[in-house]
Amino acid sequence: MEKHWVETLGNASSDKLRAIWGQLAEAFGQAIGAHGTDDERTWRVLQPPTGTGKTQGLCVYAAMLDPGE
């Protein structure tokens, strides 16, 4: 995510942004891991501030997934 954020989008990175991106990746991974279980109905709510890369983070995460899974 950091490479995309800095090199592709031309934004600056920071420790706070990296922490937010880690939280996003953890939530996405938990949601995927819960698929097919009772936990899949659990909503994961994150509220990072505007401009912290939520949409871009989701795009990067999805692009890294195995299309065969």
Residue 26, pLDDT score: 94
Question: What are the extents of the domains in the chain?
Answer: 2-64
Supply the pLDDT for residue 5: 96
What are the DSSP calls for 25-55, one per residue? HHHHHHHHHTTTSGGGG------PPTTS-HH
Per-10-residue mean pLDDT of the chain, 69 residues long, equals 96 96 93 89 90 93 85
User: pLDDT value at position 44?
Assistant: 86
